[in-house]
Amino acid sequence: MFFAFSGFLITSLMFDEFAANGSFKLGSFYQRRFYRIVPPLILSVLIVMPFTYLVGTDFITGIGKQIAAAFGFVTNYFEIATGGSYENNFIPHLFVHTWSLAVEMHFYIIWGFLVYLFSKAIHFIPGGRHQQLKTFRSIIFLISAIFALASIVGMKIGGEGLKDFSPVYFSSLTHCFPFFIGAVLSTVTGVSTLPHSFEKHIAEKWTAPRAILLMAAAFVGLLVITFKLDFSASFTYPYGMVLAVLLAAAMICGARILHEKTPNVSEPWLFGFLADCSYSVYLYHWPLYVIFSHKMSNGWAAVWTIVLSFLFAAFSYYLVEPLVAGRKGHLFGYRVSGKAITLPLTALIAGLLVATGFTENKAPQMSKLERNLWIGGIYQDADGVKAAQDTVMAQVASPKTKKKDEAEQKTDTNDYRKYNKQSTAEKFKLPPGVSIIGDSVTLGTRRYLEPHVADAQVDAEGDRKLDQAHGVMMEQQKNNTLREFVVVCVGTNSLNDYEEQAKKIIADLKPGHKLVFMTPYDKTATASWNSTKLGEFERTLPTKYKWITIADWGKIAPQHPEVFNGTDGVHFAGRAAGDRLYAKVINDSLIAAAKKPGKPAEKD
């Protein structure tokens, strides 16, 4: 929506300038864009940085690269390269929102230059100013339509076969069509300089109530797709987004007609204030919300974000930006300038600059979560090699050596083997012990799990979903390494087919196994999230399948909020208390599972 409005407004102002002066001055256009965009951006980064001390250092991991990408207007491509990592789903980049500013700046630079060339070429066309403006509009209409269509087709083709749509969502090439659809709209409407056909159409066929009805209908349409469009669905790229842009264009058109039909109605001051502050509010809202949402409830985080965003935005627009551009600022209704105001502002900005430099200098290059998963992955690979070596050695070891190794196995106080009176390992020729198939939470605590869950082997990976857990299970069954007890600790990253995938695991698990589902936990999840729905579904399974047990992490974890303080609300950052709690939940479920029979053969 914002892109469409920006394309409409900027191109309309280009027409106004050409109509007034017979030319379009590229240098002046770039200068205006610089003063409107760059100073507020720099100020927002400087103001946000001290707030990062409210949360852990994970939130400033690699912050220097984020700032450089924002100031270089390449955040969109920086996010394509780095933002798709699994860790960023839980600890997002503070300045990820400047991706759209990067796309917008690319549009301004390239479109401004092209329009400048077109405006120069128009002078070679015979006819007066009116004819030249008409031809100018026609050229812009045609070029804009071609660029919009090319971008839409690019998003459609580029998005085919993708599960992560970041490459087409963030790219300036595939996400520039809203600007050009807005530019097309400007050629048939405009701001100050209106085409004769549009003026005539408004005068003859439109009334203020009809214009309001058009805006209201488009607004309702936008609300509907806001709640219906799924960012993980291929339909959204580009069809859903094109629909959003067309509805936004309809609202712009309705507002433009309403303006013509109400010449004596003044715009409420609140609308003007919102328009003045909107850009800077956009700059502040995301990093402040990310920070506050990890310190307080979602409602209070939203309140503080709104209040401070508008406060900082007004400070930027009415005071700092005019002074930077060499104009007088506004301070509580008074025009201000001179050393009395510039010196304190300079000192403030200098202090913020020093604080930002210090924060960037001490920022870690890898978050605790990322480091924990990385180390867990290394140990898992190393243990895999060791397990293979142990298998070979076991084949040639003497019976005496085997008994000694078995005697040295750790026996936990909550050892499920004491209760496994109905063991099915021997009957169904299954390897004894526990196979744990997990996601990033399991991977983060893997080094603790294996020695504290008796005879357990852990296979975990970040961003693992149920279908991938099924693949791991099937591979282990094929190699006859899937142990008697199977614990599936996957679900935080559930997709819409969670129920189907869970049923597939149940159906394809061979007879004799005892299955444990660990319900997922995400502090930020609501009842509408797939992970929450999966947990509710898993809790119904033991009544239907006597050989299935639930390790209810989803209910036990929130009873221990201290484990998640300062974290993303999913992982517990390698904390010993979290490791112990996670292992206890698994051990308790294994004891319950040990008292049950295994999965029966079909003939049973």
Q: Distance between alpha carbon 277 and the CA centroid of its chain, in Å? A: 24
- Residue 249 in this model has a pLDDT that exceeds 70: yes
Same structural domain, 41 and 168: yes
Domain boundary residue among 156, 186, 204? 204
Same structural domain, 346 and 424: no
Q: What percent of the chain has pLDDT over 90?
A: 59
Average pLDDT value for residue range 544-570: 90
Alpha-carbon distance of 427 to 144, in angstroms, equals: 72
pLDDT digit string, tens, across residues 115-170:
999 999 887 777 677 788 889 999 999 999 999 999 999 999 999 988 788 899 99
Q: Does residue 211 fall inside a structural domain?
A: no
Q: Specify which of 53-62, 178-187, 345-354, 573-582 reaches the highest per-range mean pLDDT.
A: 178-187
Q: Does residue 501 fall inside a structural domain?
A: yes
Name, in order, each residue with C-beta under 8 angstroms of 266's C-beta and a sequence gap of 6 or more: none
Q: Does residue 210 fall inside a structural domain?
A: no
- Residue 563 in this model has a pLDDT that exceeds 50: yes
How many CB atoms within 10 Å of residue 444? 29
Same structural domain, 15 and 61: yes
- Residue 391 in this model has a pLDDT that exceeds 70: no
Q: What local confidence, expressed as pLDDT, does residue 200 receive?
A: 82
Q: How confident is the model at residue 571 (pLDDT cuts 50, 70, 90)?
A: confident
Q: Which of 590, 415, 441, 442 is nearest to 513 (CA)?
A: 590
How many CB atoms within 10 Å of residue 18? 22
Same structural domain, 289 and 388: no
Same structural domain, 469 and 320: no
Same structural domain, 107 and 173: yes
What residues does 516 pair with on adjacent strands?
A: 487, 549
Residue with more model confidence, 384 or 447:
447
Q: Does residue 241 fall inside a structural domain?
A: no
Q: How confident is the model at residue 492 (pLDDT cuts 50, 70, 90)?
A: confident
Average pLDDT, the chain: 88
Q: Does residue 248 fall inside a structural domain?
A: no
Alpha-carbon distance of 121 to 114, in angstroms, equals: 11
pLDDT digit string, tens, across residues 393-427:
444 555 554 444 444 444 445 688 888 887 888 88
Contact 434, 421 (CB under 8 A): no
Alpha-carbon distance of 604 to 596, in angstroms, equals: 15
Name, in order, each residue with C-beta under 8 angstroms of 408's C-beta and a sequence gap of 6 or more: none
Same structural domain, 542 and 402: yes
Instruction: Count up the domains in the chain and report the number.
Output: 3
* CA dihedral sign of residues 220, 222, 226, 228: positive
Q: What is the CATH number of the domain that holds 401?
A: 3.40.50.1110
Same structural domain, 326 and 390: no
Q: What local confidence, expressed as pLDDT, does residue 397 receive?
A: 52
pLDDT digit string, tens, across residues 215-236:
999 999 999 999 888 888 889 9
Q: How confident is the model at residue 534 (pLDDT cuts 50, 70, 90)?
A: very high
Q: What local confidence, expressed as pLDDT, does residue 164 receive?
A: 80
Q: What pairing do the DSSP bridges indicate for beta strands 456-460 and 329-331?
A: unpaired
For residue 336, give its domain range: 271-358
Alpha-carbon distance of 235 to 224, in angstroms, equals: 15
Q: Distance between alpha carbon 492 and the CA centroid of its chain, in Å? A: 15
Same structural domain, 438 and 582: yes
Q: What local confidence, expressed as pLDDT, does residue 126 receive?
A: 73
- Residue 268 in this model has a pLDDT that exceeds 70: yes
Alpha-carbon distance of 202 to 184, in angstroms, equals: 18
Q: How confident is the model at residue 48 (pLDDT cuts 50, 70, 90)?
A: very high
Q: Does residue 363 fall inside a structural domain?
A: no
User: Helix, strand, or coil here: 334?
Assistant: strand
Nearest-Å Rg of the Cα atoms of the chain is 31
Same structural domain, 341 and 445: no
Q: What local confidence, expressed as pLDDT, does residue 399 receive?
A: 52
Q: What local confidence, expressed as pLDDT, does residue 211 receive?
A: 94
Question: DSSP string covering 459-470, please?
Answer: EE-TT--HHHHH
Same structural domain, 330 and 398: no
Q: Does residue 229 fall inside a structural domain?
A: no
What residues does 435 pair with on adjacent strands?
A: 457, 486
Alpha-carbon distance of 328 to 345, in angstroms, equals: 14
Of 49-53, 162-166, 484-488, 513-517, the poorest mean pLDDT is in 162-166
Q: What local confidence, expressed as pLDDT, does residue 409 receive?
A: 45
Q: Which of 15, 38, 54 is nearest to 566 (CA)?
A: 54
Query: Phi/psi of residue 263, each to 5°?
Result: -65, -20
Q: Does residue 230 fall inside a structural domain?
A: no
How many CB atoms within 10 Å of residue 46? 19
Sheet holding 456-460: strands in order across? 456-460, 434-438, 485-489, 514-518, 548-551
Domain boundary residue among 204, 221, 245? 204
Q: What local confidence, expressed as pLDDT, does residue 407 receive?
A: 41
Alpha-carbon distance of 21 to 133, in angstroms, equals: 11
State which amino acid sits at residue 186.
S
Same structural domain, 341 and 392: no
Name, in order, each residue with C-beta under 8 angstroms of 269's C-beta and a sequence gap of 6 or more: none
Q: What pairing do the DSSP bridges indicate for beta strands 485-489 and 329-331?
A: unpaired
Of 194-198, 376-380, 538-542, the poorest mean pLDDT is in 376-380
Q: What local confidence, expressed as pLDDT, does residue 276 receive?
A: 92
Q: What percent of the chain has pLDDT over 70?
A: 90
Domain boundary residue among 204, 233, 249? 204
